[in-house]
Amino acid sequence: MTSAPTKSSTERRTRSGAGQPSWPFVIVANRLPVSLTRRKGEKHWTTSPGGLVSALTPIAQRAHGAWVGWSGSVDDRLEPFEHDAIAQVPVTISRQDHHDFYQGFCNRTLWPLYHDAVQNPEYHRHWWRSYVAVNERFARMVAETVQADGAVWVQDYQLQLVPALLRALRPDLRIGFFLHIPFPPAELFARLPWRRQVLEGLLGADVIGFQTERNRGNFLRVVGQYTRAQASDAGPIRHDGRRLQAAAYPISIDFELYESVALAPDTEPRVERLRQRLGSSRKVILGIDRLDYTKGIDHRLRAFHELLLSGLVKPSDAVMVQVAVPSRERVAEYAELRRRVEELVGQINGEFGEVGVAVVHYVRRNLTPENLVAMYRTGDVMMVTPLCDGMNLVAKEYVATRFDNSGTLVLSEFAGAAEELTDALLVNPHDVDGIGAAILSALTMDPVEAAGRMAKMRAIVRGHTVHDWARSFVADLVPARQRRSILGG
Ligand code: F6P
């Protein structure tokens, strides 16, 4: 997507116009749903990476709300604009913020700490100071954007201080917060030198949402331990004379949208072309992930390699396709993962490929929605094996595209999605032998059993879409009279 944004009503309705903020519903996330890149001095907008954007874009479009976030490019001072039927309100991130707030505190402290410390988190006071300063900037921008008595929905770990900062500026608002990634067990969270401040930031919200009950339980435990709030498993949290709610709201996808793209007339020819290029008689084992060390990409490559080495899988029978969406490339651990993955792909192809016939196809780029769905339709076995993951929407997207109940999902026990998709082949993603065994069962599964499992998973995803997710969160956040205008319909 590279279309140009327009100014339209957005500017008039925020601070640069009549002087009165006038959006009744505002989503706040670290990134805007579109990211800015410059090529030969020209601006290009592309869809921002990650499950958060794909989940919230349809909600923001339906709500005719504003979205406050960063454009993805440093030191830009952009005016509000409209794009994809969403009023986009940019917050400036300087080069220094990018280093200390984004790459530092967000992605080298919080990200690994909240993901079971699968990489060692680093704690630096200047990164924390930058996190505070950027959260303050977001809170001020939101305060200037939302109308009196409006509702604000703050997203994810980058902005955990915004709820309390915003409440101090605008006590008239209803404030929700949703954490897209796991909330860690108390033993891990306790390491954070600023644990009390983070919890007090979150407690500024009226409703705090988590992906799973387990995450909510982890949160309640540390609230009781490190703050003066009263938290129990039953009933609301009491804090500062207010009552607030912490609950699990498992996120989902737009099932109909994915299914309809899968059924669109030009999808099948794309799938056919892909199949022919991969070798029509070979089963396709597919992985699609952000190139992130939490996703377990290297473990699954090792499992496939060992199956080839053992002779249990022959290069003529199966081929692996790994799509890796570039992510956080300047963070050292991500660069190291890329090196490891590319080395493994090279090694496996070197040992088992032929000239013109690879056994692992590795594609490092973002796919268009049409190509993504064609890829899902091509995968006979879908590998979603993160070491730790809040939900994982790839698992749900795959299921939504399998309208004929074909295909098998291999899913990590440590993805939030495993709580719902219990008919997947569930694996411990650290257990390379276990992953190999799951690949083998998927490749050899009786088609009737596979179809039965897929049908059950499809019913679950169809029965709880991203719209249901948003509806249940917004129902807890705002009074009934405001809900209709936010959720439409
Ligand atoms: O879902 C986790 C998340 O960090 C989102 O907050 C974010 O939009 C997405 O992954 C992509 O990450 P980043 O914004 O760091 O590229």
Q: How far apart are CA 61 and CA 105, in angstroms?
A: 31
> Can you give the pLDDT at residue 489?
56
145-169 pLDDT, tens digit per residue, is: 999 999 999 999 999 999 999 999 9
Q: How far apart are CA 5 and CA 19, in angstroms?
A: 23
Residues 6+ apart with CB under 8 A from 398: 376, 379, 382, 384, 407, 409
Tell me which residue has tokens 């519903």.
Answer: 25
Amino acid at 139: A
Phi, psi of 25 (to 5 degrees): -140, 125
The 8-class DSSP code of residue 233 comes to: S
Q: Which two tokens stand for residue 302?
A: 């090792």
Q: Which two tokens stand for residue 194?
A: 């600023």
Establish whether residue 429 lines the binding site of ligand 1, counting it when its CB lies within 6 angstroms of any ligand atom: no
DSSP output for 388-408: SBS--HHHHHHHHH-TTS--E
Contact 346, 360 (CB under 8 A): no
Site to substitute for ligand 1 among 180, 330, 466, most atoms within 8 A of C-beta? 180
DSSP output for 393-455: HHHHHHHHH-TTS--EEEEETTBGGGGT-TTSEEE-TT-HHHHHHHHHHHHH--HHHHHHHHH
Other C-beta atoms closer than 10 Å to the C-beta of 341 total: 21
Establish whether residue 51 lines the binding site of ligand 1, counting it when its CB lies within 6 angstroms of any ligand atom: yes
Establish whether residue 100 lines the binding site of ligand 1, counting it when its CB lies within 6 angstroms of any ligand atom: no
Q: What is the CATH number of domain 255-463?
A: 3.40.50.2000
Pairing, β 86-90 against β 81-83: antiparallel
**Three-class secondary structure of residue 199 per DSSP:** helix
> Can you give the pLDDT at residue 145?
96
| Strand-pair partners of 31 | 70
Contact 96, 134 (CB under 8 A): no
Site to substitute for ligand 1 among 27, 28, 30, 107, most atoms within 8 A of C-beta? 30
Establish whether residue 328 lines the binding site of ligand 1, counting it when its CB lies within 6 angstroms of any ligand atom: yes
| Distance of CA 216 from the midpoint of ligand 1 (Å) | 20
> Can you give the pLDDT at residue 13?
53
Q: How far apart are CA 302 and CA 49, in angstroms?
A: 26
Residues 6+ apart with CB under 8 A from 14: 21, 22, 23, 66, 80, 87, 89, 144, 145
Question: What are the structural domain ranges in the chain?
Answer: 2-252+467-487, 255-463
Q: Report the Cα 116 to chain-centroid distance in Å.
A: 17
> Can you give the pLDDT at residue 177?
98
The 8-class DSSP code of residue 342 comes to: H
104-133 pLDDT, tens digit per residue, is: 999 999 999 999 999 999 999 999 999 999
Closest by Cα among 88, 119, 101 to 157:
101
E-only strand ranges, 184-317: 207-210, 237-239, 242-248, 283-290
Site to substitute for ligand 1 among 47, 52, 389, most atoms within 8 A of C-beta? 52
- Cite the active site residues: 180, 389
Closest by Cα among 289, 309, 279 to 383:
289
Q: How far apart are CA 453 and CA 450, in angstroms?
A: 5
Establish whether residue 167 lines the binding site of ligand 1, counting it when its CB lies within 6 angstroms of any ligand atom: no
Residues of the chain with pLDDT under 50: 1-5, 7-8, 11-12, 14-18
| Distance of CA 57 from the midpoint of ligand 1 (Å) | 14
Establish whether residue 327 lines the binding site of ligand 1, counting it when its CB lies within 6 angstroms of any ligand atom: yes
> Can you give the pLDDT at residue 17?
44
Phi, psi of 421 (to 5 degrees): -95, 65
Q: How far apart are CA 489 and CA 469, in angstroms?
A: 15
**Three-class secondary structure of residue 471 per DSSP:** helix
Establish whether residue 295 lines the binding site of ligand 1, counting it when its CB lies within 6 angstroms of any ligand atom: no
> Can you give the pLDDT at residue 8?
44
Establish whether residue 180 lines the binding site of ligand 1, counting it when its CB lies within 6 angstroms of any ligand atom: yes
The kind and range of the H/E element at 137 are helix 125-145
Pairing, β 86-90 against β 66-70: parallel
Q: How far apart are CA 251 and CA 420, in angstroms?
A: 11
Residues 6+ apart with CB under 8 A from 332: none
Contact 459, 452 (CB under 8 A): no
CATH topology of domain 2-252+467-487: Rossmann fold (3.40.50)
Closest C-alpha to ligand 1, atom 10: 50
Q: Which of ligand 1's atoms lies nearest the C-alpha of 51?
A: 1
> Can you give the pLDDT at residue 487?
76
Q: Which of ligand 1's atoms lies nearest the C-alpha of 72?
A: 14
Contact 320, 303 (CB under 8 A): no
